[in-house]
């Protein structure tokens, strides 16, 4: 099965639960199970090749210019983690079917679970670090949905927010670190980066990249001081907790440390940061777990401790320690998933997870108790079980590793952490299942249905089998994964229960003995703990978040006071400072390009343009006159385009000016004709200085460009317009062919802007703003003859001619000045004139076109044109041309870009007319209020004119 399909299957399958829940809970769970099973089987189909030493690759170009491609690869490490994710995922799906109550929306749960599963599989199979980062953030988002699944619980919502804040913040740091790493290696592909170890460690940016990446790993894997979010994520349903702690989420950080181990490890920085963090986390998590009374809380902190153990082993930087870490990841996944599901069974059947309210469950829940004892014994590291094997390997590596030149530091602290590990493991069993049967359980406990105890039983069976036959069952996979982690190094080791009388065995005996004594004297041990200080990481987090929010609010309220002038002044000042800093830090020389003498016509045009701009500044308070002068500026710019032989731009500029001025006049109808002077003299001087500085900067940049020779793309466009785009109008070919994707985005933006105008103006008449509109009074007398007969007759006669001109401009656009955009504006102007001459009511009754649909159809036609090229194997929006010989007509030139231009034309007409129609509706509404003094029907789907001619 393709690697891409393995990654996509969970995402595709996420659609099934929401649909199949209608067929029942069993159908919903079955659909989810089959989806994961298919991905698991597809993964296992690659196992023979991997054990032969092959590495599976799959690659698709996406954004090669940015180095972002859909590259996947499957080696031993990816196979191991993907197997855990999908394999344990199958058990979690079965368990969740019986755990969730009938009131829980099972379809949503399984949808979130599959999204989370797909994101995790994407992380472990990605060969591109940018793609990996996308999946990394998807795990944070999907885990947020899972942790907050019981959104009616405050602790569920808070746990989800905390997890997203911590892991999301760490993810941002990791993005920066990964970008630096890719820049050092010269590639964003992991297979390239993994071959660049010496180059990366020799870089001066190695430490920066290392710290940033480790922040992302530590936050995701709950390492100190970021460990606090994981216990609060226990507000999620138990299937989520079991999945998070055993095979996903928290294992993502461990995976990335293992993946980058060949290029980042082996330095003092790596050792002291990673090993020390893991050591502290292991000890702290084990210590806190011993005193937790909530079953899931105890297991959560035990997970924190074991994650620290694995992190410490990776931090040692030796191949044997990395092998021990890999083995413990496998063992921890088996016993921890079993224990979390076991805790869920106790909660589900007894009605509580509080250890203080439990005890004596052995007689009432014998199956559950047996599974718990075996899994807890493995977690404690007792002989004959798999947990003992990897714990012994950890103690052996700790005993033979020096920290700051001292050999006893790691050994003693690791042994102390192992003591607490034994103690909390024994407490889970002794205080929950042993002792006398109580008569005050919230519910009468009993063993659950087979669907709930079978999944943990499968894992407990693996705990026993791997413990008894480690070299046979776990040896091959551990060797395969270890070679992938260590860069292909072959190690001489033997997985077995007995290695003789070693230091590790002595440390293990001490841990078991001391842990047993702690449980026997637990009341005294707990009293000592309660007498000491208890700093709460959650309280620190809450206070930190409160301080950050307060700081953000202070900055926001200080800067955002509702003044557009202040916003623009700050933005301009910031841009000027950045520009000045760059200019000041660079060397400069005058341009040597010979200037072209200015002709009298150009000088006159420049004087008129400068004078008009100055007039707008002086007359800006008189809005109507300022708008007229703005139209004059547009006309002068159009003449400039004609002077510079750019008729396409001139036609576009004139058309845009006409439409803009008309729409602005309609909008200004509801505003005072003069704007009050709101700025004091100091602010006006500030604005003047900023304007002069910004204008001078832009003028200087333009001068620098004009006085220097530079190669542009214009030559390429001129040469390729006909052979590449099939048209002689280079401007139009650029818009619909070379830069067609840009144009496609622009018409979408234009359509969105028109819909936004519709929504805003529709709300004007139906919201509180409508009350203000009812009190509106025109400040000037209205004309008696609003629609002169001659104007109405002339425009109606000219309408067919104007539409024909628009059609002509559209057809000729690919070879001579014109095109869909200009034609759309011409047709829009022709229609606007009808509204002006005869009134909105008259025109709307005859123009029965849904402008919303017109915009949508235009976008769809443009998209279909682009997709058509994909169907025949060319990039999106690649154009082609045909030459047809038709009887009587002769040779006809047709380009596929014409269909794209049709979409542009429809969007331009629809957007312009939608804006006009809604401004006119507001005008009709206001006129109706003035005449009738009562609201009118404002249903946007109906056209009810206030009077026949308004």
Given a contact cutoff of 8 angstroms between Cβ atoms, the answer to whether 362 and 433 are in contact is yes
For residue 510, name the pLDDT band (cuts at 50, 70, 90). very high
| pLDDT, position 498 | 79
- Give the mean model confidence (pLDDT) for residues 148-176: 89
| pLDDT, position 72 | 93
Given a contact cutoff of 8 angstroms between Cβ atoms, the answer to whether 170 and 216 are in contact is yes
| pLDDT, position 938 | 46
| Maximum Cα–Cα distance across the chain | 112
| pLDDT, position 36 | 95
- Give the mean model confidence (pLDDT) for residues 358-369: 91
pLDDT above 90 as % of the chain: 38
Range with the poorest average pLDDT among 121-135, 294-308, 763-777:
763-777
- Give the mean model confidence (pLDDT) for residues 371-383: 94
| pLDDT, position 517 | 93
Task: Look up residue 180 and give its two tokens.
Answer: 């630096």
For the whole model, what pTM was predicted?
Answer: 0.71
Q: Name residue 884's beta-bridge partners.
A: 892
Strands 890-895 and 881-886: antiparallel
Statement: residue 926 has pLDDT above 80: no
- CB count within 10 Å of CB 488 equals 10
Q: What angle do CA 534, 513, 407 make, to 5 degrees?
A: 75
- DSSP assignment, residue 151? T
Distance CA 726, CA 869 (A): 15
Distance CA 464, CA 407 (A): 34
Buried/exposed code over 170-186 (b: 16+ C-beta within 10 A; e: otherwise): bbebbbebbbbbbebbe
For residue 776, name the pLDDT band (cuts at 50, 70, 90). low
- Within 13 A of 639's CA, how many CA atoms are on the CB side? 14
Q: ω into residue 352 within 30 of 0, thus cis? A: no
Q: Mean pLDDT over all residues of the chain?
A: 86
DSSP line for 196-243: -HHHHHHSTTHHHHHHHHHHHHHHHTT-TTSTTHHHHGGGS-HHHHHH
| pLDDT, position 426 | 94
Given a contact cutoff of 8 angstroms between Cβ atoms, the answer to whether 825 and 659 are in contact is yes
Distance CA 270, CA 611 (A): 66
- CB count within 10 Å of CB 698 equals 11
Nearest to 94 by CA among 168, 178, 18, 26: 26
Distance CA 447, CA 104 (A): 22
| pLDDT, position 869 | 83
Distance CA 221, CA 207 (A): 20
Burial of residue 892 (CB within 10 Å: 0-12, 13-18, 19+) is exposed
For residue 939, name the pLDDT band (cuts at 50, 70, 90). very low
Burial of residue 888 (CB within 10 Å: 0-12, 13-18, 19+) is exposed
pLDDT in tens, 103-113: 888 999 999 99
Q: What angle do CA 650, 651, 657 make, to 5 degrees?
A: 90
Distance CA 698, CA 516 (A): 78
| pLDDT, position 771 | 58
Question: Residue 924: which H helix or E strand, with range?
Answer: helix 897-932
pLDDT in tens, 421-456: 999 999 999 999 988 888 888 888 888 989 899 999
Q: Name residue 403's beta-bridge partners.
A: 406
- Give the mean model confidence (pLDDT) for residues 784-795: 77
| pLDDT, position 23 | 87
Residue 621's contacts (CB-CB under 8 Å, 6 or more residues apart) are 674, 675, 676, 677
| pLDDT, position 941 | 41
pLDDT in tens, 187-223: 888 999 999 889 999 999 999 999 999 999 999 998 9
| pLDDT, position 932 | 54
The SS3 call for residue 773 is helix
Nearest to 123 by CA among 38, 34, 207, 216: 216
Burial of residue 161 (CB within 10 Å: 0-12, 13-18, 19+) is middle
Strands 56-63 and 881-886: unpaired
pLDDT in tens, 276-291: 999 999 999 999 999 9
Statement: residue 115 has pLDDT above 60: yes
Distance CA 106, CA 29 (A): 8
Q: Give backbone dihedrals phi and psi of 83, rounded to 5 degrees, phi first.
A: -65, -40
Statement: residue 943 has pLDDT above 70: no
Nearest to 823 by CA among 847, 799, 805: 805
Nearest to 725 by CA among 733, 714, 716, 713: 733
Statement: residue 647 has pLDDT above 50: yes
- Give the mean model confidence (pLDDT) for residues 930-941: 48
Angstrom CA distances, 294 to 234, 238, 417, 712, 848, stand at 10, 13, 20, 69, 68
Distance CA 527, CA 685 (A): 71
Angstrom CA distances, 442 to 101, 348, 354, 663, stand at 17, 11, 11, 71
Angstrom CA distances, 483 to 76, 325, 487, 523, 784, stand at 8, 13, 6, 47, 91
Distance CA 757, CA 782 (A): 26
Q: Name residue 885's beta-bridge partners.
A: 891
Question: Residue 727: which H helix or E strand, with range?
Answer: none
Angstrom CA distances, 78 to 7, 57, 148, 311, 353, stand at 12, 12, 29, 18, 35
For residue 465, name the pLDDT band (cuts at 50, 70, 90). very high
Distance CA 414, CA 398 (A): 7
Task: Look up residue 29 and give its two tokens.
Answer: 């769970």
**Three-state secondary structure string covering 544-577:** HHHHHHHHHHHHHHHHCCCCHHHHHHHHHHHHHH
For residue 419, name the pLDDT band (cuts at 50, 70, 90). very high
- DSSP assignment, residue 291? T
Question: Residue 69: which H helix or E strand, with range?
Answer: strand 68-74
Given a contact cutoff of 8 angstroms between Cβ atoms, the answer to whether 770 and 934 are in contact is no
């Amino acid at each position: 099965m393709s690697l891409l399909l393995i990654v996509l299957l969970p995402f595709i399958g996420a659609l099934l639960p929401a649909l199949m829940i209608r067929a029942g809970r069993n159908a919903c769970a079955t659909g989810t199970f089959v989806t994961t099973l298919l991905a698991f089987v597809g993964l296992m189909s690659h196992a023979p090749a991997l054990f032969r030493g092959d590495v599976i690759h799959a690659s698709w170009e996406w954004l090669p210019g940015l180095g972002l491609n859909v590259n996947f690869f499957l080696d031993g490490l990816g196979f191991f983690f993907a197997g855990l994710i999908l394999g344990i995922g199958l058990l979690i799906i079965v368990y969740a079917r019986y755990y969730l109550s009938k009131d829980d929306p099972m379809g949503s749960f399984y949808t979130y679970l599959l999204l989370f599963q797909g994101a995790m599989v994407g992380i472990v199979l990605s060969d591109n670090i940018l793609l990996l980062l996308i999946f990394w953030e998807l795990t944070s988002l999907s885990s947020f949905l899972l942790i907050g699944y019981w959104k009616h619980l405050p602790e569920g919502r808070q746990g989800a927010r905390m997890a997203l804040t911590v892991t999301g913040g760490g993810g941002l740091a990791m993005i920066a670190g990964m970008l630096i790493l890719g820049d050092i290696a010269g590639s964003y592909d992991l297979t390239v980066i993994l071959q660049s170890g010496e180059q990366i460690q020799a870089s001066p940016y190695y430490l920066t990249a290392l710290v940033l990446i480790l922040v992302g790993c530590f936050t995701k894997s709950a390492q100190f001081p970021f460990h606090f979010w994981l216990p609060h994520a226990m507000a999620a349903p138990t299937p989520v907790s079991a999945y998070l702690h055993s095979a996903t989420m928290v294992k993502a950080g461990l995976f990335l440390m293992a993946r980058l181990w060949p290029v980042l490890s082996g330095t003092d920085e790596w050792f002291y940061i990673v090993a020390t963090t893991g050591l502290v986390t292991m000890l702290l998590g084990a210590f806190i777990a011993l005193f937790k009374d909530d079953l899931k809380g105890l297991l959560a902190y035990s997970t924190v401790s074991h994650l620290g153990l694995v992190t410490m082993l990776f931090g040692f930087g030796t191949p044997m320690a990395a092998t021990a870490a890999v083995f413990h990841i496998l063992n921890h996944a088996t016993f921890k998933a079993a224990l979390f599901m076991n805790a869920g069974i106790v909660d589900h059947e007894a009605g509580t997870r509080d250890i203080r309210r439990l005890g004596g469950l052995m007689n009432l829940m014998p199956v559950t108790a047996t599974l718990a004892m075996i899994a807890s014994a493995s977690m404690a590291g007792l002989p004959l079980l798999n947990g003992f094997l990897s714990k012994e390997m950890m103690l052996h590596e700790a005993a033979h590793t020096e920290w700051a030149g001292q050999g006893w530091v790691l050994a003693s602290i690791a042994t102390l952490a192992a003591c607490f590990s034994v103690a909390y493991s024994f407490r889970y069993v002794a205080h929950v299942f042993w002792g006398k049967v109580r008569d005050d359980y919230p519910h009468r406990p009993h063993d659950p249905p087979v669907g709930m105890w079978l999944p943990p039983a499968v894992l407990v069976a693996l705990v026993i089998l791997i413990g008894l036959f480690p070299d046979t069952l776990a040896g091959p996979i551990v060797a395969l994964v270890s070679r992938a982690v260590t860069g292909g190094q072959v190690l001489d080791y033997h997985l077995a229960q007995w290695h003789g009388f070693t230091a590790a065995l002595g440390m293990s005996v001490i841990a078991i003995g001391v842990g047993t004594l702690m449980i026997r004297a637990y009341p005294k041990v707990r009293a000592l703990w309660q007498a000491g200080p208890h700093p709460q990481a959650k309280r620190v987090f809450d206070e930190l978040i409160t301080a950050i929010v307060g700081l953000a609010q202070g900055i926001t309220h200080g800067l955002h006071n509702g003044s557009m002038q202040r916003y623009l002044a700050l933005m301009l000042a910031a841009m000027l400072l950045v520009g000045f800093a760059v200019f000041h830090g660079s060397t400069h020389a005058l341009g040597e390009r010979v200037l072209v003498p200015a002709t009298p016509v150009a000088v006159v045009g420049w004087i008129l343009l400068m004078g008009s701009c100055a007039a707008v500044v002086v007359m800006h308070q008189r809005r109507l006159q300022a708008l007229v002068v703005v139209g004059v500026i547009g006309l002068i710019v159009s003449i400039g385009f004609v002077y510079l032989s750019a008729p396409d731009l001139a036609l576009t500029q004139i058309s845009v000016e006409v439409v803009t001025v008309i729409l602005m006049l309609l909008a200004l109808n509801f505003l005072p004709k003069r704007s009050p002077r709101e700025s004091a003299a100091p602010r006006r001087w500030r604005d003047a200085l900023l304007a002069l500085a910004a204008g001078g900067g832009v003028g200087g940049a333009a001068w620098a460009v004009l006085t220097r020779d530079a190669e542009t793309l214009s030559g390429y466009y001129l040469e390729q317009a006909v052979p590449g785009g099939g048209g002689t109008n280079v401007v139009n070919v650029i818009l619909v062919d070379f830069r067609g994707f840009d144009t496609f985005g622009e018409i979408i933006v234009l359509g969105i802007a028109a819909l936004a105008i519709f929504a805003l103006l529709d709300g004007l008449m139906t919201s509180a703003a409508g009350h203000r509109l009812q009190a509106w009074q025109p400040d000037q007398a209205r004309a008696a003859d609003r629609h002169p007969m001659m104007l109405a007759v002339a425009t109606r006669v000219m309408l067919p001619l104007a539409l024909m001109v628009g059609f002509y401009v559209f057809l000729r656009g690919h070879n001579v000045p014109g095109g869909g955009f200009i034609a759309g504006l011409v047709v829009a102007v022709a229609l606007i004139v009808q509204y002006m001459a005869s009134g909105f009511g008259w025109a709307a009754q005859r123009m029965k076109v849904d402008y919303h649909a017109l915009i949508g159809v235009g976008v769809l036609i443009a998209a279909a044109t682009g997709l058509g090229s994909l169907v025949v194997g060319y990039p999106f929006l690649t154009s082609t041309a045909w030459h047809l010989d038709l009887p009587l007509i002769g040779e006809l030139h047709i380009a596929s870009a014409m269909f794209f231009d049709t979409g542009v034309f429809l969007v331009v007409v629809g957007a312009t007319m939608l804006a006009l129609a809604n401004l006119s509706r507001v005008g009709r509404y206001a006129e109706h209020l003035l005449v009738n003094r009562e609201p009118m029907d404002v249903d946007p789907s109906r056209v009810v004119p206030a009077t026949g001619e308004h």
